[in-house]
Structure 1
Amino acid sequence: MKRKLVAALLVCAMCTSLAACGGGGDSGGDSGYRDEINIAVDVDAETYNPILTNNTTGNRVGQLIFNGLVRLDEEQVAVPALAEDWDISEDGLTYTFYLREGVTFHDGSEFTSADVKYTFDEILNEENNAPYRNRYVAITDISCPDDLTVVFTLDSANSALMAYMDLGIIPEGAMDDAASFGTAPVGTGPYAVDSYTLNSETVLKANEDYWEGDPATETINVYVINDNSTRLASLESGDVDFVCSPLTASDLELVENNDELVMNDVPGLGFTYMGFNVTDPVIGDLAVRQAIAYMTDKQNISDVIYSGMDTPGKTPVLSSSWAYDESLTDYEYDTAKAEAVLDEAGWVDSDGDGIRDKDGTPLAFTVSTHSDDTSRFQVAEYIQNQLNGIGMDVDVEVTEWASFSEALTQRSLQVWIAGWLNQLDPDRMYDMFYSDGASNYGNFSDPEIDAALNAGRATADEAERAAQYQFIAQSVTDNVWYNVLVEQAYISIHDKDLEGYTVYPSGSIYTLWQAKIAD
């Protein structure tokens, strides 16, 4: 409780600071537009190094700092960025990118093919422990015939690769001091980092030499306000101009009729889920995980906790995906089946203390989540109540994002509630479920799923790919590696005078470089 109180006081102090600084921004002179935009995010980026970043803020704000060879448009289609054009060989094993001439990094150095090679060499370097290294493992050689041409050679086709070529390009040598680069990054994007303060703010300044043109607004201030409700209140008061998901559904009613704000609500490309560590002595029992799945009333979670904003989930393949099929199934809410599966597996209350046990081991575990999303905390408490009601001894642990994220990557949690965004292609499951996947936090391993993930990459035939991903999604769901709770909506809310911003279902805020606010 003390930790939560201190966090709340810090947030309130930050909001007071924003107000004292005149958070709405200064006049843009005779232009009729302000010279700054203030946005609020839920968690600190921790690092803006695109090789190492692994959270929403690092990715979203990073898109304003860096460019990839391509970027993904509103329809998630790869369009030219640092590469003006490209060729892909008929066998899918050679990708040749033709780079844009005259591009410079924020420090004035010239962008060349050597920087592209360096970036991809570094993400493939196992010593760097890059979170998304598995997306690029098919690349076996990168050559630079000249300063404006890069050739990637693959040992096997990867149909999802173009969706991953938006990786931010870093200058040669940046990884020599990866930690420093993460807080003082140098990219080719529309904004450069002017200053960074841990867990507080990042100040972005317009890149006057940006190859795509002059950014519309001189400064973008990125404030970290962990609490969803406080972040939205900061928008209502005018201290910030833009917020986006995650947001608490019950708070949205407060702004729906606010004529000073515009709310964009679109189906997102993410889901919220329960994850399970299958190597844990208790959670490793499939019957326990099945009982948890049977006790999860997803419709109730959607209706009550998310107020219908996020819809009931089913499998890791989103219902909006081209790979989805109506035949995919999950566990229906059924208390009787939950109790029966536990009884049959030998989890019974043998000593009359109200807690099931098996071979002397009580059916006890902890559900973990992070304090930055109050909805997930509410879900954890709801599930705790459900499971305690059938003889499980369930604790809930809520920590700040940094501690929660570290525990996830160390694979030390038993059960957790988190989310995945940017499910642009079902190949994203590779990170989650491949035996050595960097985001395989539950220690999952199944040769058939590994083979299906590889097969999904190896073919360009969409029907064949869909069949592989449907097999994976159904297997993961049947074995309760993930219990997908809800499919997320993407919501952004901004000052009514904000012009030029385009909503991306992926949650990308890249178009803020073209945005401005009337004075």
Structure 2
Amino acid sequence: MSQIDWRVLSGPRVTRRTLMQLATATGAAGFAQYLDARHTLLEGARTARAASQDEPQQGGNLRLGFLISQIVTLDPQQLSQGIVAGSILPSIFSSLVQFDEQLGLIPDLAETWTVSEDGVAYSFTLREGLTFHNGDPLTSADVQYTYERTTNPDFASPHANKLALVDSLETPDERTVNLTLSKPFAPFLAVACTRGPGRALTPVPKRAVEELGDEQFGITPVGSGPFMVVPESVKVGSGLTLAAFDGWYGGRPYLDTIEVQLIPEPSSGVSALEAGDVDAIDPAPATLFEQLNSNPDLAVINGPSTSWRGVVMNYARPPWDNIDARMAVSKAIDRQAMVDTAFFGLAIPAVGAIAPAFGWAYLPPDQVDNPQAFNLDEARALAEKAGILGAKPVIISSEEIGQRPTEVLRTALVDLGLDPQVDFQQAATFNERWQSGDFDMFLHGSVVDADPDDGHWNIFYSEGPWNTYGYKSDEADKLLVATRETSDQAERARLFQELQGVLERDVAAAFAYHQNDLMAMSTAVQGFTPIPEQRYYEKVWLSS
């Protein structure tokens, strides 16, 4: 591989072309595919904006309907609830850098940054006069505090692994942050430092965290983004209101407020949007997407995502420690039927955890030796061999997973000869259950940030933060470590494909589907730029 000059990642602007070239050159081409998928969707957004002849209008309340029943936390260092992380948090918290419309990296809190030629030293210069929502100044000390908070083992942040390569962080003055990595890592800025995916280093104010405590900070957080939480508006199970922050470095947003409404029932969300009771719903339900798409008063988004889901079974609860039992479940699932029935075709069957957006490592199903392929006769034979016919596994689920895919799974297990029960929970209880290992099985998964690493390491590494079901494999661990230690693209692809084979063979998960990113909004909502799995509202305005 030719010598790479990592200084091309220095700011105040890193173009999409540079990111694509560097990602490909270093073996982080999953990031390149991620950028490319997002770029395709943005073309439609630019066309829609060009068609509008209206000038942005100041003021107004944007009513956002989220098809969930509960927000578990708004603490960026603890948040793992996908829709909240991508759709609400970016309005409350700014970070060091952010994506622009061309999917390059541009300043957020850092007005510029430099990267050393060898790719291990990063130096950020913060803007002058930054403040948090409570009026406290935002300085390099807050970035250092955030780093220490995220990496503190007692705090147990699910994002700590994004900072695993950081050897040191120094703050020589109030506006300078110097980071040194143990080795070059091309997607570091995107996965650890950006507003949205980079929640690991999203600055939080020490005084507010200490005064409120971690739990309350997750309910009424204090950030530095374009909107701030109105504490008295927070109603558990109902929603909250965000108010424009006059002190945001980018100037006051067009909107006065964003009213976040929680609408657990998808049909109720669609009815509210069509009746004009909300201005947008997120995510748009696949079951009613065509109805939304045919409404001339609405605009819809149907874009790529980097997510996957699959059934994990609890190794600590026999018979799910038996590979024949797990393989029986996996081979009983008709993935195409699940996609068609649960998502009306707005998803892709999964063969492993590598999403199709990561084309450098992904292989289509017809090119993969898939031991988990649907075969009900083989599944029943394995179930009889494992002695699980008539078993009564409990499937835990939540609204973020959805009732329809869970029901398709339940039906598949009935066809297999089992008597499954579904325990549908609100997000907080569901998270407590799976994080503590209190389940027989559920549809696990990940929204991968910029590389397949996150969706594999967190869930399949023996000590991964989201591996609460007991999968342990020395072979898988060695392959996971190897994918992090090489920068050769072809070698990383080979390692991930070999790892995929191990995970399929072991039935580390019964891999199921990759769901599309769907959203719908009133045509009165202007200035919105659709980016998969991220929502920014500071440039959004409402036409009269």
Give TM-score, length-normalised by structure 1.
0.85
Cα-to-partner distance string for 1:336-395 (whole Å, 9 max, x where unaligned)? 22123344xx335xxxxxx63xxxxx644222212x25x732333333333233333322
Note closer, same or farther for the CA distance 1:302–1:234 as it changes in structure 2 (3 Å cut). Answer: same
Cross-structure match for 1:309: 346
- Secondary structure at the aligned position of 1:209 is classed as coil
Cross-structure match for 1:100: 127
Cross-structure match for 1:213: 251
Give TM-score, length-normalised by structure 2.
0.81
Note the 1:327-338 alignment, pairs <5 A.
327-330=367-370, 331-338=372-379
Shift of 1:414: 1.3
- RMSD over aligned CA atoms reads 2.3
> Are 1:222 and 2:260 counterparts?
yes
> Are 1:477 and 2:504 counterparts?
yes
Identity in percent: 26
Cα distance in 2 for partners of 1:155, 1:440 equals 26
2:305–2:357 Cα contact (<8 Å) kept: no
> Are 1:516 and 2:525 counterparts?
no
Note closer, same or farther for the CA distance 1:387–1:284 as it changes in structure 2 (3 Å cut). Answer: same
Note the 1:109-508 alignment, pairs <5 A.
109-162=136-189, 163-166=191-194, 167=199, 168-176=202-210, 177-195=213-231, 196-245=234-283, 247-321=284-358, 322-326=360-364, 327-330=367-370, 331-343=372-384, 346-348=385-387, 356=389, 363-370=391-398, 372=399, 376-428=402-454, 429-505=456-532, 507-508=533-534
Opposite residue 202 of structure 1, the aligned amino acid is L
Opposite residue 396 of structure 2, the aligned amino acid is S
Deviates more, 1:453-462 or 1:275-284: 453-462
Shift of 1:77: 5.2
2:116–2:122 Cα contact (<8 Å) kept: yes
Cα-to-partner distance string for 1:171-214 (whole Å, 9 max, x where unaligned)? 22343211222222221111111132211121111111211232
Q: Which ranges in structure 1 are unaligned for 5 or more consecutive residues?
A: 1-29, 349-354, 357-361
Cα distance in 2 for partners of 1:257, 1:150 equals 50
Opposite residue 426 of structure 2, the aligned amino acid is E
Cα distance in 1 for partners of 2:102, 2:335 equals 28
Cα distance in 2 for partners of 1:78, 1:408 equals 35
Deviates more, 1:275-284 or 1:81-90: 81-90
Note closer, same or farther for the CA distance 1:476–1:76 as it changes in structure 2 (3 Å cut). Answer: farther
1:323–1:470 Cα contact (<8 Å) kept: yes
Cross-structure match for 2:5: none
Query: Which of the pair is proportionally richer in strand?
Result: 1
Note closer, same or farther for the CA distance 1:513–1:265 as it changes in structure 2 (3 Å cut). Answer: same
Deviates more, 1:105-114 or 1:123-132: 105-114
Cα-to-partner distance string for 1:479-499 (whole Å, 9 max, x where unaligned)? 211222221111111011111
- Secondary structure at the aligned position of 2:305 is classed as strand
2:330–2:510 Cα contact (<8 Å) kept: yes
Cα distance in 1 for partners of 2:136, 2:447 equals 33
Deviates more, 1:478-487 or 1:286-295: 478-487
Cα-to-partner distance string for 1:8-48 (whole Å, 9 max, x where unaligned)? xxxxxxxxxxxxxxxxxxxxxx9856511010113332221
Note closer, same or farther for the CA distance 1:462–1:82 as it changes in structure 2 (3 Å cut). Answer: farther
Cα-to-partner distance string for 1:129-183 (whole Å, 9 max, x where unaligned)? 1122222222232111222211223345444432222222112234321122222
- Secondary structure at the aligned position of 2:417 is classed as coil
1:46–1:198 Cα contact (<8 Å) kept: no
Across the two proteins, how many residue pairs are aligned to each other? 472
Cross-structure match for 1:38: 63
2:168–2:181 Cα contact (<8 Å) kept: yes
Note closer, same or farther for the CA distance 1:112–1:268 as it changes in structure 2 (3 Å cut). Answer: same
Note closer, same or farther for the CA distance 1:472–1:98 as it changes in structure 2 (3 Å cut). Answer: farther
